[in-house]
Amino acid sequence: MILWDYWRSTAAYRVRIALNLKGLRAEHRVRHLRRGEQREAAFLAVNPQGLVPALVLEDGTVLTQSLAICEYLDETHPEPPLLPRDPIARARVRAFAQAIAAEIHAVQNLKVLNRVKALGHDQAAANAWAHDVIAEGLAACEALVRDRPEASKEGPFCFGAAPGLADIALVPQLYNARRFGVDLGAMPLLAAAEAACLALPAFAAAAPERQADAE
Amino acid sequence: MILWDYWRSTAAYRVRIALNLKGLRAEHRVRHLRRGEQREAAFLAVNPQGLVPALVLEDGTVLTQSLAICEYLDETHPEPPLLPRDPIARARVRAFAQAIAAEIHAVQNLKVLNRVKALGHDQAAANAWAHDVIAEGLAACEALVRDRPEASKEGPFCFGAAPGLADIALVPQLYNARRFGVDLGAMPLLAAAEAACLALPAFAAAAPERQADAE
Residue B107 to residue B113: CA distance in whole angstroms: 8
- Alpha helices (H) along A101-164: 106-108, 110-118, 123-146
Percent share of chain B, pLDDT over 90: 87
Is the ipTM higher than 0.90? The answer is: yes
Q: Is the pLDDT of residue B22 over 90?
A: yes
Average pLDDT, chain B: 95
Task: For A87-201, give the CATH class.
Answer: mainly alpha
| Chain A / chain B CB contacts < 8 angstroms | 122
Contact B72 A90 (CB under 8 A): yes
Q: What is the per-residue pLDDT across B38-61, written as a single tens digit (0 to 9) for each?
A: 889 999 988 888 899 999 999 999
Q: Give the mean pLDDT of A85-114.
A: 97
User: What own/partner pairs with CB < 8 Å and gap ≥ 24 does A152-160 have?
Assistant: A152/A84, A152/A89, A155/A189, A155/A192, A155/A193, A155/A196, A156/A192, A156/A193, A156/A195, A156/A196, A157/A193, A157/A196, A157/A197, A158/A93, A158/A96, A158/A189, A158/A190, A158/A193, A159/A84, A159/A89, A159/A92, A159/A93, A159/A96, A160/A84
Contact A103 B61 (CB under 8 A): no
Q: Is the pLDDT of residue B118 over 80?
A: yes
Report whether the peptide linkage leading into residue B208 is cis, meaning its omega lies within 30 degrees of zero: no
- Extents of the domains making up chain A: 2-80+204-210, 87-201
CA distance B107 to chain A (A): 5
Q: Is the pLDDT of residue B77 over 80?
A: yes
Question: Do B93 and B141 meet the contact criterion of CB atoms below 8 Å apart?
Answer: no
Strand order in the sheet with B62-64: B27-30, B2-5, B54-56, B62-64
- Three-state DSSP at B3 gives strand
Superfamily of domain A2-80+204-210: Glutaredoxin (3.40.30.10)
Residue of A94, A113, A131, A132 for testing the chain B interface, max B β-carbons within 10 Å: A94
> Looking at this protein, which amino acid is placed at residue B78?
P
Q: What is the per-residue pLDDT across A155-170, written as a single tens digit (0 to 9) for each?
A: 899 999 999 999 999 9
Residue A31 to residue B125: CA distance in whole angstroms: 31
Q: Give the mean pLDDT of A128-132.
A: 98
Neighbours of A139 (CB within 10 A): 15
- Residues of A within 8 A of B98 (CB-CB) are 65, 67-68, 101-102
Q: Give the mean pLDDT of B65-94.
A: 97
CA distance A215 to chain B (A): 27
CA distance A99 to chain B (A): 7
Residue A99's pLDDT band (boundaries 50, 70, 90)?
very high
Nearest to B134 by CA among B190, B95, B173: B173
Q: Among A72, A101, A115, whose Cβ lies nearest the Cβ of B91?
A: A72
Q: Among B50, B91, B143, whose Cβ lies nearest the Cβ of A71?
A: B91
Nearest to A165 by CA among A60, A89, A55: A89
B178 Cβ contact partners less than 8 Å away, ≥ 6 residues apart: B184
Q: Among B68, B72, B140, whose Cβ lies nearest the Cβ of A48?
A: B140
Residues paired with residue A5 on neighbouring β-strands, in sequence order:
A30
- Residues of A within 8 A of B91 (CB-CB) are 63, 68-69, 71-72
- The matching CATH number, chosen from 3.30.200.20, 3.65.10.10, 1.10.1740.10, 1.20.1050.10, for B87-200 is 1.20.1050.10
- Residues of A within 8 A of B140 (CB-CB) are 48-50
Nearest to B99 by CA among B197, B9, B165, B7: B165
Q: Is the pLDDT of residue A151 over 90?
A: no
Average pLDDT, chain A: 95
Confidence (pLDDT) at B140: 93
Residue B151's pLDDT band (boundaries 50, 70, 90)?
confident
